[in-house]
Structure 1
């Protein structure tokens, strides 16, 4: 797992943690956002393309806690990823308890209503997770999604 940044971070401190579903936005929107931040000297963390099922998420969650800001790129497939949901839940719980990281959502080809579970889009994915053995707490994921859906963010539509 690799952390990337524009310059060296002291004690694993990042300005921004990017949470996104790779197949949805890695090679398009998120890559452009990441490169722009790094070009401006912002120390950004994004996961490595080399992550695979079964890899440890501890490093990712640690990077969330070591970041000032968490940008959540909430795309159509975001809720289909247990890793994305863990990152989101961890970021929201940390924010509530410590005020850090600041949460900045980008609604990428979804609406806040989708994220707040008022449509079927994310609900269907959450139901699929529930069917998997050893599934995470759907209640925690739903609570985190509803909360982030209430945060004023940026809506980017029709770009997927």
Structure 2
């Protein structure tokens, strides 16, 4: 008699998409999400109905933890969002603690700008200063800076090299 046993799925999602919506949602992310799901890849993408605020919601933290792979799309305005930086910090934590695979996609930005936090990746923006003032968390800047540096050192894709 043949066994119908199958291994229990370890992850709820195959892929978690992390991105700055205003930069990429209606263009690159839309196409990427549809291509992944068309191949049967279970992909988490945030939803417009999720409650927005200054800090990342628990449901997104759970989705990050429940994903085998995180695709981080780093675009021009990514670092101006404390939400995106919180997501990235959690993803880097999951890479270390849960052996999550993290693949950066540098979307029309230089990996070296992310690594050295130049240009739009400087963390001394108005939004970051406002976050520090509202939440009184001066150490958060170090966490975000470290997460940007770590993701920039991972093997990924630079969209400027592709058509």
| TM-score band, normalised by shorter chain | 0.7 to 0.9
Q: CA deviation at 1:118?
A: 4.3
CA distances 1:49-89 after superposition (whole Å, capped 9, x unpaired): 23353386110111000000000000001111111111110
Is residue 134 from structure 1 mapped to residue 135 from structure 2 by the alignment? yes
CA distances 1:121-160 after superposition (whole Å, capped 9, x unpaired): 211565641333215501000000000001111001299x
* Corresponding residue for residue 20 of structure 1: 19
Structure with the greater alpha carbon radius of gyration = 2
| TM-score (normalizing by structure 2) | 0.82
| TM-score (normalizing by structure 1) | 0.84
Gaps (5+ residues) in structure 2? 1-8
Does the CA-based 8 Å contact 1:45-1:63 persist in structure 2? yes
- Alpha-carbon distance change, 71 to 149 in structure 1, aligned in 2, over 3 angstroms: same
Gaps (5+ residues) in structure 1? 1-9
- Corresponding residue pairs, total: 149
4+ aligned runs moved over 4 Å, structure 1:
124-127
Q: Distance in 2 between matches of 1:21 and 1:56?
A: 13
RMSD: 2.3
- Alpha-carbon distance change, 139 to 110 in structure 1, aligned in 2, over 3 angstroms: same
